[in-house]
Structure 1
């Protein structure tokens, strides 16, 4: 396949356009102009014929003396000859016997007062008009004829002028083609430079094109992409910074205790206690790594990859609660709305509830309640605990990665909840209640059904 740049494409488009116009005209123009000039030829014949007929006279019209014979008229453009037939009487120009025979046959069969004919003679077309006139009670045929010379020469002249017109149009089209090529390439070149900058991770300079709506829309889309890349880059840097900070403390603790054991120094009572500290820190580091890997995994998921199924809230809640029921003996669990049904990915929703319950266990005084209810077109899933209320600043930043409360561990649990809610087409919400704090996941019912159908396809 031939590859063309933008300028070559524009030149090719102009050339093809002119060729198509020329091809169409080459077919349509001769046909239409020939028909028009044929009608004009008959009009000339009729006008010349009318001049020789006196409607008040009962005599045969006398034809003017002719300076051209039948064949000579082929070279004349508008020369009209005349022949009058009445029984055995013949008057007018000399006409070859073959032509006269055909004219006579047509005349005798003619019923209309006037009729147009054409015939072929030695490769050329002869147009003639036969008019029936009444002379002293008997019919006579007044035949006027004209060769196709006028028509063919007019077609040739008009066709030549049209070719010249197409030629000059093509030459003049060079200017707009040059302008259009430059006009279209300007924003594309600028956009190409911007892409090169982004390829080099230089996306600080904004891009905005003012002018045509199409290029302005394209520049807006590019600018949106640039901002998303900046946000993603900043989020990655923040993630790496927080991840390194979260991992540095347990690594330093493990390293210091291991060095102490090697040097024979006992910060704790015995080696067993020191090993317990190392194992505890190793477990904490493992959990942090798992959370960070799972959070980055969620960024690669899309709604089409979720395993949609119809979930009973009561069954799902019992499964999740069973994993935490004995972590704190002083905290009781409750379930409201266990009959509610909703669409979702069982694994993802379970992980979201696990993170909400883990968070609630750190703050609850005596009670944690899991709830579900339908509200308009949404299904609201909630986890309430009777812990202390949060300030307005904490409420706004609670779902941001690595933002920890006063009893938080890694700062990723609620961020994971938010990402899972977004993957389901919903959003998280946290509000202070009169006697505690309520975390909710808002899931649109209609969108869940739509996504389920899309996944089945």
Structure 2
């Protein structure tokens, strides 16, 4: 599976990154320990250094220096540019390891040093020798030099003397402590890597297992199998995604059931007029007239053909409603009064049989003119079908809304919500599509519609919120 392949690659990449940073961390820790260790050696070598100390007796200063057996001290004097090595009365075993090359290297450092004190180290056969060179200015009485020329007077000359103290210390031969420390650091980093990998393994399973399950559920949905609910319950992004997919599954299931119901209802609605037309045509072929005369029988066929034509038109228009909902359209500013008046004029012959009261103001809304015309036509046709003798139409606007109201004095409706459902027909209904189309078109144009019973009759109210 691709998810497992991605998971394996991710784990390998994560392992590589962890090892890379572990190696870098190890060497940084080793370097930090070495730096600290070397710094500690230099601090020992620099202990008790006082550059401001006044030295008047070189021999006394050398022999009175602290007898620290962990370090070795060497001394040089520089008198008017001439270097001389001074020996202390005591010796140390470390001195025996100082070769002439080491001594020369130290003397070169002394000759080139400008600072009062400076740190140095050299590698000798894989072992480090650390030393600190400290410079002292000597301040004792000037000495007289007699110029060896006859009859010349003695000449007093100040001698420029400098004392250099070299404190040395070898790196210990026994490095078992350092090795043990480095080994422990390595083991600690290795255990850390293993722990991180274990945590990553269980974390990746915790993350990828619901993703795999969600992927399988989506595949089932793609096969139009909407019956299995998604049961992933988490409070993170994966849980949010799972709940979103579950909502999509429910909507698809609802849509699929609606389509099946629609197909079943369509087939039933189409079958009835087709069967009537077919039976009447068969009767006419045999010379029979179900309505008594050929004209009456043909009129029935014509009525059923008109009914079938209107049914097919409405079904095709319902399919277009999905396109209307998703299409990005610029709605026009229209006068709703003009829409209603045009429909009333087109249906004036049918309205002559009713007592009508029309009260409308000029009201402008943003909507599609043709769609609003279909809405008014369908509602007015419904009023004509169910009214006894009275039909009233009113259109008014206040500061909060625009209200278009239709009233007829016909029978009360049983359930005001069901009448807007597809194929839900009333007592004298034809196809059960007219009011469904009205509801869908009003939703598309940002309006709402309600139907309610009054003391006598039924009212339909369409409202646009301002």
Partner of 1:97: 104
For residues 207 and 180 of structure 1, what CA distance do their matches in structure 2 show? 21
Establish whether residue 373 from structure 1 lines up as the match of residue 397 from structure 2: yes
For residues 222 and 28 of structure 1, what CA distance do their matches in structure 2 show? 44
Correspondences of 1:135-284 after superposition (within 5 Å): 140-145=163-168, 165-173=188-196, 175-195=198-218, 197-198=220-221, 201-210=224-233, 213-284=236-307
Partner of 1:387: 409
Report the CA distance between 1:288 and its aligned residue.
Answer: 0.9
For residues 166 and 33 of structure 2, what CA distance do their matches in structure 1 show? 22
Aligned-partner SS, 1:428: strand
Aligned-partner SS, 2:452: strand
For residues 121 and 394 of structure 1, what CA distance do their matches in structure 2 show? 104
Partner of 1:421: 442
Establish whether residue 47 from structure 1 lines up as the match of residue 70 from structure 2: no
For residues 71 and 8 of structure 2, what CA distance do their matches in structure 1 show? 51
Report the CA distance between 1:28 and its aligned residue.
Answer: 6.3
Partner of 2:158: none
Partner deviation per Cα, 1:15-71 (whole Å, 9 max, x = no partner): 32232244345556645753563353133123144279998996333489999xxxx
Aligned-partner SS, 1:398: helix
For residues 174 and 132 of structure 1, what CA distance do their matches in structure 2 show? 56
Partner of 1:73: none
Establish whether residue 130 from structure 1 lines up as the match of residue 143 from structure 2: no
For residues 283 and 104 of structure 1, what CA distance do their matches in structure 2 show? 121
Report the CA distance between 1:96 and its aligned residue.
Answer: 4.2
Partner of 2:150: none
Partner of 2:15: 18
Report the CA distance between 1:258 and its aligned residue.
Answer: 0.8
For residues 298 and 419 of structure 1, what CA distance do their matches in structure 2 show? 7
Match of 2:31 among 34, 37, 40: 34
TM-score, L = length of structure 1: 0.75
Report the CA distance between 1:100 and its aligned residue.
Answer: 2.2
CA distance 1:262–1:307, change in 2 (3 Å)? farther
For residues 210 and 237 of structure 1, what CA distance do their matches in structure 2 show? 31
For residues 333 and 176 of structure 2, what CA distance do their matches in structure 1 show? 84
Establish whether residue 60 from structure 1 lines up as the match of residue 61 from structure 2: yes
CA distance 1:212–1:307, change in 2 (3 Å)? closer
Once the two structures are overlaid, the 10-residue window that deviates more, 293-302 or 410-419, is: 293-302
Establish whether residue 337 from structure 1 lines up as the match of residue 332 from structure 2: no
For residues 444 and 156 of structure 1, what CA distance do their matches in structure 2 show? 82
Q: Does the CA-based 8 Å contact 1:382-1:441 persist in structure 2?
A: yes
Report the CA distance between 1:157 and its aligned residue.
Answer: 7.8
Once the two structures are overlaid, the 10-residue window that deviates more, 22-31 or 273-282, is: 22-31
For residues 439 and 166 of structure 1, what CA distance do their matches in structure 2 show? 78
Aligned-partner SS, 2:451: strand
Correspondences of 1:442-457 after superposition (within 5 Å): 442-445=463-466
Partner deviation per Cα, 1:118-171 (whole Å, 9 max, x = no partner): 689999987543334466657533233567899x99999877765555545444
Partner of 1:72: none
Aligned-partner SS, 1:395: coil
Correspondences of 1:317-328 after superposition (within 5 Å): 317-328=340-351
Q: Please, which runs of 5 or more residues in structure 1 have no aligned partner?
A: 68-78, 446-457
Q: Does the CA-based 8 Å contact 1:30-1:155 persist in structure 2?
A: no
Report the CA distance between 1:282 and its aligned residue.
Answer: 0.4
Larger of the two Rg values belongs to structure? 2
Aligned-partner SS, 1:286: helix
Q: Please, which runs of 5 or more residues in structure 2 have no aligned partner?
A: 88-97, 141-160
TM-score, L = length of structure 2: 0.74
Partner of 1:295: 318
For residues 13 and 159 of structure 1, what CA distance do their matches in structure 2 show? 31
Q: Does the CA-based 8 Å contact 1:398-1:404 persist in structure 2?
A: yes
CA distance 1:256–1:172, change in 2 (3 Å)? same
Q: Does the CA-based 8 Å contact 1:7-1:181 persist in structure 2?
A: no
Report the CA distance between 1:357 and its aligned residue.
Answer: 1.9
CA distance 1:51–1:195, change in 2 (3 Å)? same
Aligned residues: 422
Report the CA distance between 1:304 and its aligned residue.
Answer: 4.1
